[in-house]
A and B are shown apart, each in its own frame.
Chain A
């Protein structure tokens, strides 16, 4: 296990103050902070190596290409992908899912086909499929959640059938703190000759991920939620599936031969990487992966599970509170609502104490409807958060309640 106090020094932003109080950053499900190593890597790339990869024979172009491709190897290793050519760099999870919805969905879905999602999807794994369904006549079906936030697997069994062409599901919820049994869903999908896609935006940064044991065909994640820069994420796909797909975006780099009236496509992964990529960000993501590996994903998972459960326990003691999702076996995402202070107001009053949490629908409007709320407050922890910060969160919430309670009803 690593020493949390020690590694906090690696994150320059964690020593800043907000409203005269030490920053307590608990909005990690939205984006993570960056260690010095990643920030230095960005600067080093631009100061020493900047060039357009895969397009030149001069020294800088060679170096840029090498650094870019090294990051691909690192990401592949990070998720247990055997073949690094099956890792496609994108702008993030959203673009990765759109890539599949366009390049695979629009080619393979027909009227009568079904795409099975869940009630708890982030808009990024719902709207792309709504668009694909509208274009192809395919139908969307939704696996319901139980009251504790877990997936109703009995219903999943009934929903996934011979018409199913794809099952796509969040691996971990950005609201409920649940980890979904995507392995079981992948088995159900494959038993019906359907593909399985996993939205790993909230799992990639927090859990050990091995695409082979998940049994999925696609896995998507975002760099900025896992200590990396914004503007970069990735899609992993089973090589034979990616090979069978047409390109997503057309342009430079993704081609082999271009004529005025037609073109042929480059090999994987370049077929899906049109135009100049976010090279520095990809290189920065590689440094982020190094950092995560050095701490160990098992350790990070254990640390966050403890924090999530500790926060759940402390919050449970608050009068009248509703906490969403299961009490145990959860990630470091804890959503809650209080009867007396609206999530926005909690969030605003917490900011006054230097505590950053998120409030709102968390890009999960259908899930909010299912939970019967317009918004929740959400604290989300990462590898650098401490139990003392959970305590500071509790003190700040208590203070917010007292502030609101002081006004006469």
Chain B
């Protein structure tokens, strides 16, 4: 059962987070705290020609929150503001079970989290932060 939650993909992103660190002069810098547990994340992004040219994150948290943030930065790279918004909305719908995880999508590694309601917020924390940053906080 734990293998369904702690998938290889999640553990890989957790142990080797992609795009971890700050970005200088970012267009988005948004800090968000999970009041339930105290975990925190800050997401950074830069836009060029309305497309995400750089995205990164810092923070401390559990494997789910850190892996999800890492995957998010990779996923949003190169997307327009409109595409970013659609992707965040779609991801959040997947995490509430309102939308299916596409097969063969890396994000489907987070599917197991749905079985643990108290952990869903861990997975959505960085995505919420990005969304807030996009909409001016």
A contact residues vs B (CB 8 Å cutoff): 19, 342-345, 348-349, 352, 359-361, 365, 368, 374-375, 403-404, 407-409
Contacts and interface: CB of A to CB of B under 8 A. Distances in A.
Given A342-B61, A403-B2, A403-B6, A374 B38 contact: yes
Of A365, A368, A407, the most chain B CB neighbours within 10 A belong to: A407
Interface stretch (B8-16, B19-27, B46-54, B101-109): B8-16
A374 B61 contact: yes
A375 B2 CA distance: 22
Contacts of B62: 342-345
B89 interface: no
Nearest to B2: A352
Given A344-B62, A359-B37, A360-B36, A407 B15 contact: yes
A409 B16 contact: yes
B34 to A, nearest CB: 9
B85 to A, nearest CB: 28
A359 B116 CA distance: 15
A179 B12 CA distance: 42
Closest A-B pairs by Cβ, 9 of them: A361-B38, A344-B62, A407-B11, A360-B37, A342-B62, A374-B38, A409-B15, A374-B60, A375-B38
Nearest to B8: A407
A374 B40 CA distance: 8
B119 A375 contact: no
A348 B11 contact: no
A409 B14 CA distance: 9
Of B1, B38, B63, B116, the most chain A CB neighbours within 10 A belong to: B38
A348 B38 contact: no
Contacts of B16: 409
Of B11, B16, B62, the most chain A CB neighbours within 10 A belong to: B62
Contacts, number: 56
Of B2, B40, B122, the most chain A CB neighbours within 10 A belong to: B2
**How many B residues are at the interface, by size bracket?**
20 to 34
B77 interface: no
Interface in B112-129: 116, 119, 122
Interface residues of B, dominant DSSP: mixed
Given A342-B62, A344-B122, A403-B6, A375 B39 contact: yes
Interface string B79-90: 000000000000
B38 A407 contact: no
16 contacts: A342-B61, A342-B63, A343-B62, A344-B37, A344-B62, A344-B64, A344-B122, A348-B5, A348-B119, A360-B38, A374-B38, A404-B6, A404-B11, A404-B63, A407-B6, A409-B16
A77 to B, nearest CB: 38
Nearest to A340: B15
A365 B37 contact: no
A408 B11 CA distance: 8
A18 to B, nearest CB: 12
B39 A374 contact: yes
Contact of A348 (B12, B36, B60, B116): B116
Of A343, A348, A360, A365, the most chain B CB neighbours within 10 A belong to: A348
Contacts of A342: 61-63
Contacts of B37: 343-344, 359-361, 374-375
Contact of B38 (A19, A352, A365, A409): A365
Contacts of A408: 12, 15
A207 to B, nearest CB: 28
Contacts of A374: 37-40, 60-61
Contacts of A349: 2
Given A368-B38, A403-B6, 18 more contacts: A19-B1, A344-B39, A344-B119, A344-B122, A345-B6, A348-B116, A348-B119, A349-B2, A352-B2, A359-B37, A374-B39, A404-B6, A407-B8, A407-B11, A407-B12, A407-B15, A408-B12, A409-B16
Nearest to A360: B37
A232 B36 CA distance: 24
Contacts of B11: 404, 407
A123 to B, nearest CB: 10
A360 B122 CA distance: 12
A348 B123 CA distance: 14
A187 B15 CA distance: 52
B18 to A, nearest CB: 15
B79 to A, nearest CB: 29
A131 B76 CA distance: 41
A409 B37 CA distance: 25
